[in-house]
A and B are shown apart, each in its own frame.
Chain A
Amino acid sequence: MNATSAHSVATVDYDRHAQLYVAARAGDRIAQHTLVGELNELLWRAARRSGLDRDSASDVVQTAWLRLWRTEDGLKQPRALVKWLLITVNREAWKVAGNARREVVSDPVDIREPVIEGIEEGFVRDVERESVRRAFLAQSERCRRLLAIVSAVARPDYDHISEVLGMKRGSIGPTRGRCLDKLRKTLMEDPSWAADEERDADGT
């Protein structure tokens, strides 16, 4: 999957998810396991970004899969699987959150009280991460939602997911998109990010 070009990955992914779905519906447990493993995080983020707490988000993700499985004779267009699941999660989240979602909830990646950090386990350096966090939190709720979901999947899904979230993009392949463009501009204005960029340019 990684070896192909960006445009062909999009095609491969949708066909692959469609094939996994068809196989899973026919009783293939391994296909089902793979499909759930690959798409669950995306659905989790969509549920959390609809303002649900962690318990309710877990419920809603399961409900979406359950509804998918009881859709009689399956989806008419298996290639629309991701879209169908995302729309179902959004609708169900809206339904169960009711009035509560209007309350101001903190962002799932809000800045927290500093914790004692052990060895940095990831490849992301602290400065870079915190710059991106600040820039991310400065964006509109709509953009944070889109970016959180898009970042969970392969890059070429950006346009597709934008469309599902009502932010239609041209079908011209993976373009930056308004939200990412805005975030990038916010980042460029952050001195610590700029310093980091210069360090990279120096060849670190």
Chain B
Amino acid sequence: MEPEIRDRGEFEPLDSCDERILAVINELHHRDDPIPNDLNERVEFVLELEAALDAKVASVFRPKEMTLVRGDADLAVSQGDPTSITFDCEAVTVMVTPRPAASRELRLDGWIGPEGTYGVELRSPQGTRHVSSDESGRFVLEGLPNNEIFQLVIRPSEALQREGLPAVVVTPAVRL
């Protein structure tokens, strides 16, 4: 057992030494694990859209983390391509795989489940692209700029909404 006197230290008010220690801990994190310099911008970018939409927000599953996703509503997605990103929201799952195309350009292959037709909006600070998925939920977007941030806005068809899918699903902005 620790002597009782040791336990009293934690209730002492912070002094200048404590403040100094906390300042150095803060400094260490600033230096070694800084917040990405575009993260504030990305947050503001995605909130811009959100203001006008009553949308459901998707979680993002990155390949490294993706093994099997637990939980009743979650899909167990087999992981084919290490560059693919999965967005998951209620019953809707979107998987996108970016591939380099022409120089400094990307092609984005997407698949949305459950099967059906979806409107797909790809927002970036440069503008918005619209496509529709085919009936199996697949879509392709070509000629996208490299190293740009993108946010997806997915709109399930009315038929899918009647089956209980939300009207709009939005994702965080990812850099591809």
Contact = CB atoms under 8 A, between A and B. Distances in A.
Contacts of A53: 62, 64-65
A96 B33 contact: no
B69 to A, nearest CB: 6
Interface of B: 6, 9-14, 17-19, 21-29, 31-33, 35-36, 39-40, 42-44, 46-47, 50-51, 54-62, 64-71, 170, 172-174
A40 B35 CA distance: 8
A176 B18 contact: yes
A129 B55 CA distance: 45
A177 B32 contact: no
A15 interface: no
Contacts of B26: 151-152
A45 interface: yes
A55 B50 contact: no
Contacts of A55: 62, 174
B67 A37 contact: no
B22 A150 contact: yes
A121 B106 CA distance: 39
Contact of A183 (B21, B23, B44): B21
Interface of A: 27, 32-33, 36-37, 40-41, 44-45, 48, 52-56, 58-63, 65-67, 69-70, 92, 95-100, 108-110, 112, 122, 124, 128-129, 132-133, 136, 147-148, 150-152, 155, 158, 170, 172-178, 180-181, 183-185, 187
Q: Is the interface of A mostly helix, strand, loop or mixed?
A: helix
A59 B28 contact: no
25 contacts: A36-B40, A40-B39, A45-B29, A53-B65, A55-B62, A58-B172, A61-B39, A63-B59, A63-B60, A70-B50, A92-B59, A96-B65, A98-B65, A98-B66, A99-B68, A100-B67, A112-B32, A129-B27, A147-B22, A173-B13, A174-B13, A177-B10, A181-B9, A184-B9, A185-B9
A36 B68 contact: no
A187 B27 CA distance: 17
Contacts of B24: 124, 128-129, 132
Contact of A175 (B14, B23, B39, B71): B14
Contacts of B40: 36-37, 40
Contact of A184 (B17, B43, B69): B17
A58 B32 contact: no
A112 B32 CA distance: 9
A54 B61 contact: no
A62 B14 contact: no
